Structures are given as structure tokens and as C-alpha cells.
Structure 1
Amino acid sequence: MASIRVRSRADGGITHVVLWREDGRQPTESFDSPTQAEAFKLLIEANGGRKPEGWIRGHGFVDPSAAALVADAPILFREWAPRVINSRTGVESRTRADYMRDVAAWMYPTFGDANVRVNDEIDSEAVRLWVNNLERSTYPKGKDAEGNTKYRRLSPKTVRNLHGLLSSILQAAVDHDPQIRTRNPCVGINLPRVDDEIEDEQCFLTPDEVALLISCFSRRTDQLAATIAYGTAVRYGELTALQPQDLVRLGTRPAVRVQRAWKRRDDGTYYMGAPKSKKSRRTLTITPTVVDALDELGQGKGKKALLLVDDAGNRLHYSSFGDRWERAVKKATALGLDKDPTPHDLRHSAVAALIAAGTPLPAIQRRLGHESIQTTVDTYGHLLPDIDDAMLAAVEATLSGIGTPQLRLLIS
């Protein structure tokens, strides 16, 4: 039996998709009209659950000679990639837009005019050269205190993510019915190791350096924002979405609820939505200093007002805070700071302090709102040697008899 599903398109329109089972696979055909979809569904069922003879997917009924031409028509990568990305289900519109941005920036210059049908036009050698070029590529990353654009190399993780996106696009051509190409050239390509990340990808500030940086802000509200960011380790989009009503109690202890975050639409505008993932919705216990900062920001505001706003009372844009951050860093540098942190590095620095205090990684995972402990390990696992030293010291203390009975060999 065939079925019809209604799906929303990226352009806001509606597509009626006919699905059926044939030879162990599930082909589909899309129609703009529900009447056309219903007619094609009846054709499938009348033909014993198989596609009618002479029907070419995406083109309809054609004569045999025309069918051969349609089946061999070139499919350019710049035409195929949007089809694959826009057909994905379970993907937020912003994520879909990010995929398209990455495809346009990093793939079209190399593969945009290649015919996806022809294996030799996108082969393993081309993919290897492309990966090598990505490892040498840079992208703009903010501005320095003088207003000059700063550039940073693509990290190994970003290179791997881009390779994975390209692989999924080409694998869709291999899996397509009818098959568009016979192999995926991304399979078997050696990729840079994630643990080869350059050291300046993350900047860890000591508690004294955090205090110095906070003192270098000229605005009191910026000092309070940085205090809360470090004291809670929340993301910037979560920080700037906090409201007075989010200051609560967890049992007898003060806490802050993280239940919303600023998110960006496809057109670049922002809206208030749920945090990054299910585990990002969390309640965090906080220190008296953070409580005082939240209280000070909330003075005279309604319970649903934003704690952090710009001069016009609107959402505090990252670039506005970032400009003042750069000025504070420049001032701190003149006072002895020898690092170049970003606002997000307050989150990293908070984790470093927690790890130095012996906080278990699962507890840190929950505080950060990571969906998986693997994310926490991959991001901060290299900070664990200090914990290893403490464990080794405990083992040595046991073996040497310090604080515990010395081990004895019992001979029966």
C-alpha cells in the first residue's frame, strides 16, 4: 500500500509526498497538488505496489527514448546539495540555513559545477585536495581592540564536520532511487585529529585573571554580566535571556533556571526559544556573589523583563557586548594579562576552576547542559591530568602507609 505525507518546504510551501515499498526500499515522489498525489498513489496500488512503467521520478511519464535522456541529464553539485539539505527531516530551519551557508562558502568553489552523476568529477583525489585546502583555510573571527579583523584557521573539528556534510550529500546520491552515482568518494579519507586542535582555540583564565578582566569593564552592567557568565558557565544566548523570575531556590539553596535562549532565524533576526537541547534546560545552584549580581540587575524590573539589555532596552547583542569586551581585554593586557580571551572563554574558565576543585565530569556535564558526556570529555578532558596527579598521590599514600595501614603480604 502507498501513503501520502504532507511536508513543509523551506520556502513556506507544501509538498505532498507519496511513499511506497518496492524491492525492500521506500521510493518517494513529490507533488504540489494533493489531487496529483492521490492519483499517483492509486497508480502505484493498481500496479501491485510498483512504480508504473515509463514513469521517471521528478518528471512523470515519458517515452523510452526521452527517459534515457532524462536519466543521464547532468546534476550539478550546486543543484543537488540544496535538494538533499532541504529534504532532511528533524532539522531546525536555522540548522538548515547553517548547512547551506557552509556548502556555499566551502564546497561550491570546488565542487559547485561538478556533475554529481560522474564519479570522476568528484573523486577521492579531489576530496583529499579539498580537505588539505580546508586545513590551511582561515575565516574572520571578530575584531581586535583597534577594530582590525582577526582571522583564525579552521579547527580540525570544523574540517571533520564539513567533510561529514559533504559525505552525507554525496551518499544521498548513492542511495537515491534510481541511483545517481555508484560510490561516495568521501569514504576512507584521512581527516585531521580532533586532539590536534591548536592551543589558542580555548583560552582558560585563572580566577585572578577573571577578576582582573571584570574590573576592567567601565560599565557596571558589563561587570555583572561577566560575573554571572563565569559563575554559572551558561552560554551567551542563555545569559542574555535571563529574567528576574529565573532566580529561584533549589531546596534551601539559591539557584538560577536556564529555560530559554536567544536563537537566530534564517533572515538573521532573533527570537526567544528553548535552549540548545533538552539537557540545556536546567537549574543551577549559584554562589552569593552571583545572587547579588542577579539581584542588582533585576532591581526595578518586572519578573519577565530581560536582565541584560542594550541602551535602547532591547536584547544585548553579542557584537555590542563584544566591543566593550575587547576594550576591557586591552585594558587588562596593559595591567599584565597575557591572554586574548573571548566572552565564551568565561564558560571554559569556569569549567577549568570546577575541574581543579575536583568536580566530577558528569556533574560538569549537567551544569553545562551538554547532551552527551562525550562532548564534555572531548572539550575538557585534557584538563584532567591535575586530577590524575591527585589520584596518584592517594595511591602512593596508601602504598607508603601515609594515613592508612601499610599493605602487608600474608603468607599462609
Structure 2
Amino acid sequence: MARVRDLWTKTIKGDDGKLVKAPTARHGQGKRWLACWTGQDGKEATKAFDVKTQASSYATRMEADRLRGTYVDPRQGQQRLREYGEEKWLPSQLHLRPNSVELYEQHLRKHIYPRLGDRRMATLARSDMKAFVTAVSAVLAPSTVATVFSVLRALMNAAVDDGVIPANPCTRVPLPRVDPRVVEPLPAKAILALAEAITPRYRLAVWLGAGLGLREGEALGLVLPRVDFLRRKVEVRYQLQRGKLVELKTKASKRTLPADDLVLAEISAHMQKWKPGPQDLIITNRSNKPVGRSSFWECWADAVAAAGLPKGTRFHDLRHFYASGLIKANIGPKVIQSRLGHAKIAETFDVYGHLFPDDEELGRGAIETMIASARAEQERNRGAK
């Protein structure tokens, strides 16, 4: 039951045997009124107030929350956001792949903890989240702001589920508008320049991206048994993450691709210079071990600069080059979806829809031809009667 205790006085028997109020040892010190209620564990929980009505209202609200099943222990909310993130939330993300965990760690360490890490969870309000978005928007692109905020939102959602806070303060927080990125495929001469500029051990990765549309992890995780020189095909089954081969995360990502002679020749030339690494990895570093992401990114950035391409050119742009080549060859959208490993055709159209032919004259006369054919058949049937 909810109740309020007076911490400054106590009831004792007077000399005449009657009950009287007497000062306690803490009389006049600290907050006087103690709100008391039954916690979720069945034990008494308390919180001190200066004003009796405030203590009474708080105790009543806590008791009502317990009965409704929405009770949150106020002591839980006193832990700091950094403490909750490092000790409870991030270690529990066992369903995430290593690359995703690494990305979450980066966003927490670089953007979330410096601004909110020392705040107690229960004190965070929607206004704090809006201020956070404003602060990171000053230094990050809108798309990155959305990614960082999604990590913060997920952390706070987990805190609600764990009974640390009663509600997620990240709800209904406006984010900066993200303008859709219009893909502008690299020209063929840029592919040649990148292949020549990058360190020779990684030259093949350029051709796997541009010639097969492989993602960075897929290119660095290609193993020799998955290359069929006789049938001129390459099977994409794994990706390299944190130096380890892991299964691709979606069924659509697992695919078998027809390989041009150009790509197969590059694979052969690479194998003549360097032997396969652990688990038959084709591309390895100087120690013949799996390629580290940071070292590859450094080599890639150097190659981009040497090739005279814009600073933001990504490995993923090689994949866009591959897709644009398939579109120019009049390959159907469903085939392109399969080759790229997209789970849904909508993803293919969202990224590359603007590259497909869009001639206003396309289709002109198609309906007329169909109607004319039907009319001709009607006339033939009438003449036969």
C-alpha cells in the first residue's frame, strides 16, 4: 500500500502513557517526507520529498503503476547511459554480425557517449534527444545522423523493455531530411585507373566489384573453390568480416554469377602471383592473411586520389558500375536483382530505376495494335458466317 512517513518526527508514549510526537535524530536535516510503496519484487521502495503532498502523490502513482503492470523501479533509471550501453545493451546484441557490432560501437563511442554518456537514464527527455540531433547534425550528413540516432533509439527501447525507464524519449523526434542519393556510375576509364592505382595485391578486388558487382566483404571473402573456370561462373557464398569468413546474411545474397573472360583472367593472373590464404581466400594481405578493413580502406583511399577521382568515391561505386553495364545491355530488372543479390525488386528500382530507358515514345501503338488484331479477327469470323 502507498503511504507517507515523516522522517523528522516519531510517535512515542509520553510520561502519562499517551502517544505524542517527538523529534527524530535527523529532525530538521534533509528531506522530511518519505514516499513508500511496494516494488515489483514485493519489497518496500521509497523516495524522499520536501513536501508531503508531493510524496503522497508519488507513492500513489508508483503503486498504481505496479498494479497496471507499467511499474519502473526509480533506482534503475539512476544508472548512466554509458554504463547501461557498455555493460548491458551492447553485449546483448548477439544477433548482430561483427560488422554491425563494430558500427554500433563507433557510433556510441564517437557521437552518443560524448554527448549523453554521463546522463542518468531517468533524466533523459525528448528535448534532450532533439538537442542531440541538432548537435550531431552540425558535423554529420543527414543520412549518418539517421543511422546514429537509430542506434540511440534502439538502446533506449531496450531500456524500456528492461524496466530502466518508463518510455522511450526518442519517439517523435524529427530528423533532418535525407535527400535520395542519385547514383552516377563511374565511367569505364575510372575503373581502369583504379585497377592500376591500387596496390597490386588488391587489384583483383576492383575487378570483382566492377566485373561481378560484389560488395567489399564479398570480394575480400571470395574463396578459390567458388570459382568455376570451366563453366565461367563465380559462386558468392561468404563475406569477410573482422578477418573471418561468415555466411551471407540473406538468402538473396547467395548467388551464382556468370563471369566475363576479363574477370577470370584477372583471377588467374592474381593466383599466379600469390597463393591462396587461410580457407582458400583468394585475396590476402602481405602476410598472406585475411585483409583488414582499415588497411584496405587506406589503400582504397590512396587509389582514389591517385586515379584523380572525387574523395568520397566508395568501393560500392564499383557495384553501381556493374549494374549500369547490365542495364545498358538490356538485361531485365529481375535478372539484375538476382545478380546484385537484392532481396526485393523494389530495392533494385529504388537505386537504379533512373538508369533504365525512359523514352516517352516507348509503348506507343501497342494498344492500338492489340485492338486492331481483335477487330481483324472479328471481321474474319463475320465473313465466315
Seen in structure 2, the aligned counterparts of structure 1 residues 80 and 352 have a Cα distance that, compared at 3 Å, is: same
From 343, 347, 363, the equivalent of 1:395 is: 363
What's the CA shift for 1:129? Answer: 2.0
Q: Which amino acid aligns with 1:332?
A: A
Are 1:261 and 2:239 matched, yes or no? Answer: yes
Residue equivalent to 1:132: 134
Seen in structure 2, the aligned counterparts of structure 1 residues 231 and 397 have a Cα distance that, compared at 3 Å, is: farther
What's the CA shift for 1:308? Answer: 1.9
Q: Which amino acid aligns with 1:209?
A: A
From 320, 324, 328, the equivalent of 1:352 is: 324
What's the CA shift for 1:198? Answer: 6.1
Tell whether the 8 Å contact from 1:248 to 1:256 is kept in structure 2 after alignment.
yes
What's the CA shift for 1:234? Answer: 0.8
Seen in structure 2, the aligned counterparts of structure 1 residues 54 and 276 have a Cα distance that, compared at 3 Å, is: same
Seen in structure 2, the aligned counterparts of structure 1 residues 322 and 90 have a Cα distance that, compared at 3 Å, is: closer
Seen in structure 2, the aligned counterparts of structure 1 residues 103 and 407 have a Cα distance that, compared at 3 Å, is: farther
What's the CA shift for 1:348? Answer: 2.1
CA distance, structure 2, for counterparts of residue 386 and residue 76 of structure 1 = 49
CA distance, structure 2, for counterparts of residue 326 and residue 175 of structure 1 = 42
Residue equivalent to 1:19: none
From 180, 186, 191, the equivalent of 1:205 is: 186
CA distance, structure 1, for counterparts of residue 105 and residue 344 of structure 2 = 26
Seen in structure 2, the aligned counterparts of structure 1 residues 282 and 86 have a Cα distance that, compared at 3 Å, is: same
What's the CA shift for 1:236? Answer: 1.9
Q: 2:214 aligns to what SS in structure 1?
A: coil
Seen in structure 2, the aligned counterparts of structure 1 residues 357 and 129 have a Cα distance that, compared at 3 Å, is: farther
Q: 1:272 aligns to what SS in structure 2?
A: strand
Residue equivalent to 1:366: 338
Structure index of larger Rg:
2
CA distance, structure 1, for counterparts of residue 160 and residue 334 of structure 2 = 40
Matches within 5 A, 1:136-151: 136-138=138-140
Seen in structure 2, the aligned counterparts of structure 1 residues 273 and 409 have a Cα distance that, compared at 3 Å, is: closer
Give the unaligned 5+ runs of structure 2: 1-36, 48-58, 63-71, 376-385
TM-score by length of 2: 0.67
Seen in structure 2, the aligned counterparts of structure 1 residues 323 and 357 have a Cα distance that, compared at 3 Å, is: same
Residue equivalent to 2:81: 77
Are 1:188 and 2:172 matched, yes or no? Answer: yes
Residue equivalent to 2:156: 170
Aligned-residue sequence identity (percent) comes to 25
Q: 1:389 aligns to what SS in structure 2?
A: coil
CA distance, structure 2, for counterparts of residue 371 and residue 100 of structure 1 = 27
Q: Which amino acid aligns with 2:338?
A: R
Q: Which amino acid aligns with 2:133?
A: V
Q: Which amino acid aligns with 1:174?
A: V
CA distance, structure 1, for counterparts of residue 275 and residue 121 of structure 2 = 57
CA distance, structure 2, for counterparts of residue 174 and residue 321 of structure 1 = 39
Residue equivalent to 1:287: 260
Cα RMSD, aligned residues only: 3.9
TM-score by length of 1: 0.63
Residue equivalent to 2:34: none
Q: 2:321 aligns to what SS in structure 1?
A: helix
CA distance, structure 2, for counterparts of residue 65 and residue 330 of structure 1 = 63
CA distance, structure 1, for counterparts of residue 370 and residue 189 of structure 2 = 40
What's the CA shift for 1:205? Answer: 0.2
What's the CA shift for 1:84? Answer: 3.1
Matches within 5 A, 1:213-232: 213-214=194-195, 216-217=196-197, 221-232=201-212
Q: Which amino acid aligns with 1:292?
A: A
Q: 1:280 aligns to what SS in structure 2?
A: coil
CA distance, structure 2, for counterparts of residue 256 and residue 291 of structure 1 = 9
Instruction: Note the alpha carbon deviations across 1:267-295, whole angstroms, 9 max, x for none.
Output: xxx22222343332221111111122222
Tell whether the 8 Å contact from 2:244 to 2:290 is kept in structure 1 after alignment.
no
From 105, 110, 113, the equivalent of 1:108 is: 113
Q: Which moved more, 1:354-363 or 1:127-136?
A: 354-363
Residue equivalent to 1:87: 92
What's the CA shift for 1:219? Answer: 5.8
Tell whether the 8 Å contact from 2:142 to 2:177 is kept in structure 1 after alignment.
no
Q: 1:257 aligns to what SS in structure 2?
A: strand
CA distance, structure 2, for counterparts of residue 183 and residue 302 of structure 1 = 53
Tell whether the 8 Å contact from 2:222 to 2:281 is kept in structure 1 after alignment.
yes
Are 1:123 and 2:96 matched, yes or no? Answer: no
From 315, 332, 337, the equivalent of 1:343 is: 315
CA distance, structure 1, for counterparts of residue 135 and residue 372 of structure 2 = 58
Seen in structure 2, the aligned counterparts of structure 1 residues 301 and 65 have a Cα distance that, compared at 3 Å, is: closer
- How many residue pairs get aligned? The number is 315
CA distance, structure 1, for counterparts of residue 235 and residue 361 of structure 2 = 38
What's the CA shift for 1:342? Answer: 2.9
Residue equivalent to 1:37: none
CA distance, structure 2, for counterparts of residue 305 and residue 318 of structure 1 = 19
Tell whether the 8 Å contact from 2:98 to 2:241 is kept in structure 1 after alignment.
no
Q: Which amino acid aligns with 2:82?
A: R
What's the CA shift for 1:231? Answer: 0.7
CA distance, structure 2, for counterparts of residue 71 and residue 317 of structure 1 = 45
Matches within 5 A, 1:299-318: 299=272, 301=275, 305-318=280-293
